[in-house]
Amino acid sequence: MSEAKLEHLLDLERIEDGFYRGQSWDLGFRALYGGQVLGQSIAAAYQTVEPTHVIHSLHSYFLLPGDAKKPVVYDIENVRDGRSFSSRRVKAIQNGRIIFDMTASFQKPEDGLSHQFAKMPKVASPDKVQQDIRFYEDNYDKLSDHMKESLSYHRPVDIRTVDSANGYTAEKRDPKRCIWMKSRDSLDDSPLSMHQASLAYASDYHFLSTSLQPHGLAVHDKSLRLATIDHAMWFHKPFKFDDWLLYEMESPFSGTARGLVQGKVFDQSGSLVASTMQEGLMRQISTK
């Protein structure tokens, strides 16, 4: 098997105008990893807008579980093209059914009033934080055959959880988490759209599980049913995903079998480059 690379995952096949096909990576989860559909939807929508326009926001819903063993078809609807903004609706389809729906807005960059009220947290530098994938590698013999086969698809994004609360520890703690992230491979020759789609792909890692921390539950708990319901994202400034970014996450609320999480993404200079919000199913069932 050839080495998995983000640029390959996000390089979609054009079927015809407005229709694109993306291949899938099986990360060993119960369903298709949601970040893949987010990233590929951005890559597909970019094919339909003027090259002068840049995505600044997206709002999406995960409607059905995706199948990681099958490709995904993306149907792009041109909602509106204006002088400054363009809107697109993206439908991700498998087996003739819509599994994901996204509305995205693109803007021709312009100057404007600017401020930042978010402060980057002080955390250990990425070179002093262990790679998350070491958890899988150190426990390789305990992994299922399916998960062992999926490890190669976790390596394209280097993710390092600052306090080791990567969703696999069951101790109770505040619903806050910081992770460093960047692509393993250089994206120097890639346009901003590739960096944005790559960040969207990675933004779903460890996100919803932040809501589990006050409850002393880990993602592998057999009594849990976790699934993303919706995901929103705002891109504030250009950035490079092959440089380290700090993803600060916290969950202000959980209840009624749902958890809410919000995230801020900073570059190493402390600039806020993106913001995220997600709500997901967090259901605990009896295993008896």
Which residues belong to the active site? Answer: 204, 228, 278
d(CA 77, CA 88): 6
Burial 246-257 (b: 16+ CB within 10 A, else e): bbbbbbeebeee
Between helix 192-202 and helix 34-46 the angle, nearest 10°, is: 160
Burial class of residue 102, CB neighbours in 10 A (0-12, 13-18, 19+)? buried
Q: 3-state DSSP call for residue 211?
A: helix
d(CA 20, CA 88): 14
d(CA 257, CA 246): 29
Give me 217's structure tokens.
């539950």
Q: 3-state DSSP call for residue 178?
A: strand
CB 225 within 8 A of CB 54: no
Q: How far apart are the first and last CA of the chain?
A: 40
